[in-house]
A and B are shown apart, each in its own frame.
Chain A
Amino acid sequence: MEDFEPRIIGFLCNWCSYAGADLAGTSRLKMPPNLVPIKVMCSSRVDPEMVTDAFLRGADGVLIAGCHPGDCHYDKGNYYARRRFAVLKKVVESLGLEADRLRLSWISASEGARFQQVVEEFTEKIRKMGPNPTGKETLL
């Protein structure tokens, strides 16, 4: 699997994680190019079916990133997001699918370096897991 380049979808909240990603960029931190960012207004905007959709369409990993607990721009969105994410992971796990391809991380607007680290770590983990078999499945 030498030439496998993971494709990771990242749902980044506008107020923290997207800004953190921006900071990583303007600080010229070196990062693997594997994450395709999608800006959402809050981590709680991410309906589990959006994550499921990305997963079933062959995304090798899906990241949801939002403000640290206590810092959500809308006060409590990320607490709700955490519950929904846990539920989705349980569903995926219960069905015997690879729950490790899903990740939830808190990254603030000032944490450019943490953004870099999360993307690096997650990309490496997914690289080890190999391509998501959903990408090659005809009867989804």
Chain B
Amino acid sequence: MNSILIDIIEKAMSSGMISSVMVPSRGPEDSFPWTLVSNISALQRAEPLPPVMSVQGAKALASFTQSLPEGKLLAVMRPCEVRSTIELSKLEQIDLDRILLLTMDCPGAVPLKEYVENGMMEPDISSPETLRPLCRQCIEFTSAGDLCLSVHGGLHSVVSLTARGEELLDSLGMKAESNTSEWKEWANGLRLEREKIKTESTESLKKAYSGLQGLVEAFSGCISCRSCRTVCPICYCRLCFIDMKDRRSPASAHLEHSYNAGAARLISNTLLFHIGRMAHMSLSCVSCGMCEDACPSDIPIGRLVSMVSDNTTELFDYSAGRNPEDPLPLNTFCLEELHEYED
């Protein structure tokens, strides 16, 4: 593990500033499950940026932090995981009060399936083809949360992004890096490249899957496993609309559709699930790519939700996970707005 990171964690733990760390650790068979580490010696197995994303960090965090009993927790996560953590705190699934978020320049992750098939492989930030599709077009690959560990642009140090981050470093007698111009230049350069990739990918996605025929094509292979929803950090509902009992259409509805269309798909409601889901959660989608990584049918579900999310968030000038103070767009309103949507 990175030496600065070890230094921060060791100091913070031994001084009692934090009582535990959430970080992926190396498991058997090149696996990297999340772990809650409370003993410095157990840090040896920690692997903050594993080559694959196993469980989304925000999901791991939400699984136990709704009411932290005592002490502070440092969560070491990728930028998209930090951003979904912030969304989940707005959705009241994570209480950020006693959690510090540390992130790093993210190299991206390799596709889970390739990893499982080929064994150990490393993502290479400078060769997009080694990365998952949403990592290739990720423009928020750094700087989220309270502290960011930076290893590019000649930097090898920690940048503090919030007052809380500053406070932690101060109390540990450490200094945040202030000379960040080269690192910022590096980030801007990569962002530009990624934006280009994203524009191209969105264009080809639209071309292939636009309209009813396009969507039918995109989702004809969907096996309704709902893995995309299960692994998504934002879809936290205990009972999803699509699984509600009164949601199930009666046989007569299937028959009627079958009479009208000549035949009707079973299991039904594939498109309803995906469109309804996008209407529910696209505003908070952080484009982490978990859904697409999990899809057994290779449906570009992450890219689709992310594309839709770009358009829905634009309505409210919202950006998922950007600022903990920005209210969720659906939990607030302005008296005078959106008049073009009412007739």
State the A residues within 8 Å of B (CB).
Answer: 47-49, 52-53, 56-58, 69-70, 76, 79-80, 82-97, 103-106, 118, 121, 133-140
A49 touches B311 (CB 8 A): no
Chain B residues 325-342 with CB under 8 Å of chain A are: 329-330, 333-335, 337-338, 341-342
A49 to B314, CA, bound (A): 21
Knowing A53-B272, A87-B315 touch, does A138 contact B343 (C-beta < 8 A)?
no
Q: B258: nearest residue on chain A (CB-CB)? A: A138
Contact between A87 and B272, CB atoms less than 8 A apart:
no
- B interface residues (Cβ-Cβ under 8 A, vs A): 206, 209-212, 214-216, 220, 241-242, 253, 257, 260-265, 268-272, 275-276, 278-280, 282-283, 304, 307-308, 311-312, 314-316, 329-330, 333-335, 337-338, 341-343
> Within the complex, what minimum Cβ distance (angstroms) separates A28 from chain B?
25
A140–B253 CA distance with the chains assembled, in angstroms: 13
| Distance of A124 from chain B, by nearest CB (Å) | 13
- Cα separation A96 to B283 with both chains bound (whole Å): 18
* Complex-state Cα separation, A87 to B275, whole angstroms: 11
Tally inter-chain residue pairs, CB-CB below 8 A. 132
Which of the residues B241, B261, B312, B337 comes within 8 Å of A87, measured between beta carbons? B312
Within the complex, what minimum Cβ distance (angstroms) separates A108 from chain B? 14
Chain A contacts of B308 at CB under 8 A?
Answer: 90-91, 94-95
| Alpha-carbon gap, A56 to B260, bound state (A) | 13
Checking B261, B264, B272, B342 against A82 with a beta-carbon cut-off of 8 angstroms, the contacting residue is B342
Separation of A135 and B253 alpha carbons in the complex (Å) = 12
* Known interface pairs A134-B212, A139-B220, A140-B270; A94-B341 also in contact (CB < 8 Å): no
A87-B265 Cα distance, complex, nearest whole Å: 27
> Given A79-B333, A83-B333, A90-B311, does the pair A136, B280 have CB atoms closer than 8 Å?
no
The smallest C-beta distance from B48 to any residue of chain A, in angstroms, reads: 35
Q: Chain A contacts of B314 at CB under 8 A?
A: 90
Question: Within 8 Å CB of A93, what residues of B?
Answer: 311
Q: What chain B residues lie within 8 Å of A53 (beta carbons)?
A: 269, 272, 276
A residues near B220, Cβ cutoff 8 Å:
139
Contact, CB under 8 Å: B211 / A83 = no
Q: Please, how many angstroms separate the alpha-carbon atoms of A48 and B279 in the complex?
A: 7
Name the 4 nearest CB pairs between A and B, nearest first. Answer: A96-B210, A49-B276, A48-B279, A79-B333
Closest B residue by C-beta to A122: B343
> Are B272 and A138 neighbours in the complex by a CB distance under 8 Å?
no
Whether the Cβ atoms of A83 and B338 lie closer than 8 Å is yes
Task: Determine the chain B residues whose CB is within 8 A of the CB of A56 once the complex forms.
Answer: 269, 271-272, 275
Cα of A43 to Cα of B231 in the assembled complex, Å: 32
| Chain B residues, Cβ within 8 Å of A105 | 342-343
**Chain B residues within 8 Å of A84, by CB:** 279, 330
Question: Are the C-beta atoms of A97 and B312 separated by less than 8 Å?
Answer: no
The distance in angstroms between the C-alpha atoms of A79 and B334, with both chains bound, is 8
Query: Given the complex of chains A and B, what is the CA–CA distance between A86 and B329 in angstroms?
Result: 11
Known contacts A90-B312, A97-B212, A135-B257, then 17 further A-B pairs from the complex at CB < 8 Å, ordered by chain A residue:
A47-B241, A48-B279, A56-B275, A82-B341, A84-B279, A88-B279, A90-B308, A91-B279, A94-B308, A95-B214, A96-B212, A96-B215, A106-B342, A137-B212, A138-B265, A139-B270, A140-B271
A49-B272, A56-B271, A95-B275 known; A136-B342 Cβ under 8 A: no
Q: Describe B's contact surface by its main secondary structure.
A: helix
Query: Contact at B280–A139, with CB atoms within 8 Å?
Result: no
15 A-B contacts (beta carbon < 8 Å): A47-B241, A52-B275, A53-B272, A82-B341, A86-B315, A87-B329, A87-B330, A91-B312, A95-B211, A97-B215, A103-B343, A133-B212, A135-B260, A137-B216, A140-B269
CB-defined contacts of B278 to chain A, threshold 8 Å:
91
State whether A69 and B335 are in contact (beta carbons under 8 Å apart), knowing that A49-B241, A97-B211 are contacts in the complex: yes
Shortest C-beta distance, A36 to chain B (Å), equals: 14
A18 CB to nearest B CB, Å: 18
- CB B282 to nearest CB in A, in angstroms, measures 6
Which of B209, B241, B261, B334 is within 8 Å of A137, CB to CB?
B261
Contact between chains at A83 and B330 (CB < 8 Å): yes
Note all chain B residues with C-beta closer than 8 A to A89.
341
Q: Is the CB of B338 within 8 A of A86?
A: yes
In the bound assembly, the distance between CA atoms of A103 and B342 in angstroms comes to 7
Q: Smallest distance from the beta carbon of B216 to chain A beta carbons, Å? A: 5
Q: How far is the CA of A88 from the CA of B307 in the complex (A)?
A: 14
Bound together, the chains give a CA A104 to CA B338 distance in angstroms of: 11
